[in-house]
Amino acid sequence: MARATLIGFTAVIMWALLALFTAGSGAVPPFLLSALSFSVATLIGLGMRIAAPPAGPAEPVPPVVWLIGIAGLFGYHFFYFTALRNAPAVEASLIAYLWPLLIVLGSALMPGERLGWHHIAGALLGLAGTALIITKGGGFSFESRYALGYAAAGACALFWSGYSLLSRRFQAVPTSIVTWFCAATAILSALCHVGLEETVWPVSTAEWLNVLGLGLMPVGAAFYAWDYGVKRGNIQVLGAASYAAPLLSTLILIAAGAAEPTTNIIAACLLITFGAALAAKNMILKPRRHEADAAS
């Protein structure tokens, strides 16, 4: 379980590159960027299938798994883009980033899972740290005229947390199925682009490389790693640790010279790190307990 949890956490690390690569992709509109990125993500899955073909005939995949996977990947991005178009980015981002907390709380309903106070406390500390990063220590307000955007951000959080929790109920379905979820999301994103956006392609090699980077990592390999982690790892720890994504993203932007370090970032770092450690305390302490038992 610890190994699967670490693999799942690599998705969080890759998601931290989302802002950097998105900024470097130029003026490409969101749905076109999503279509391009998920096309690359699909190629990753096809490449893995060629490199490591299944040992025997594939088991039939229940129709509900297709619904969960496509709704999770495409639904999350559709509602996220809709939220940013119809509400201020600070409030929309904060509402959308309720999904790690929803995963931690929702895990209590999963077979074989136990929700402890430290899981909830760790997730809340992570949410507080995320709020510090998003608001930059300032305030935020909710206005009725942005109700559509707020609702879309809430749907965004529900779709991704629901996808993550429900995927765990189908542990027997191999992670390779994510290939087809990515392919469907690329097609649906392309259709949304045609109907809702003006086409603007990357204009330089650097912008194309950033689009490729998106498809290889935060909008590519991350989804395969996340699927493996939520199916076989500690889902409460993964949920709480997911709050590291905005922190890591900010630190990467600082390292790239696109942001400045502040006391709020330091405070957020402490909150998120302590929250993740608190949520993972059982996983951290168990090996030590086993060693103590062996010594006695």
What confidence tens digit (pLDDT) does each residue in 177-211 have? 999 999 999 999 999 999 999 999 999 999 999 99
DSSP SS3 for 64? helix
- Cβ atoms 282, 116 nearer than 8 A: yes
Query: How would residue 294 be classed by pLDDT, with cut points 50, 70 and 90?
Result: very low
Q: How far is CA 230 from CA 100, 103, 116, 161, 196, in A?
A: 12, 10, 18, 11, 33
What does the pLDDT average to over 158-174?
Answer: 92
What's the rounded mean pLDDT across residues 218-242?
92
Calculate mean pLDDT across residues 93-97.
83
**Contact assessment for residue 94 and residue 130, using Cβ atoms and an 8 Å cutoff:** yes
Residue 180, both tokens: 């087809």
What are the angstrom distances between the C-alpha of 285 and each of 44, 146, 160, 288, 292?
36, 45, 30, 5, 11
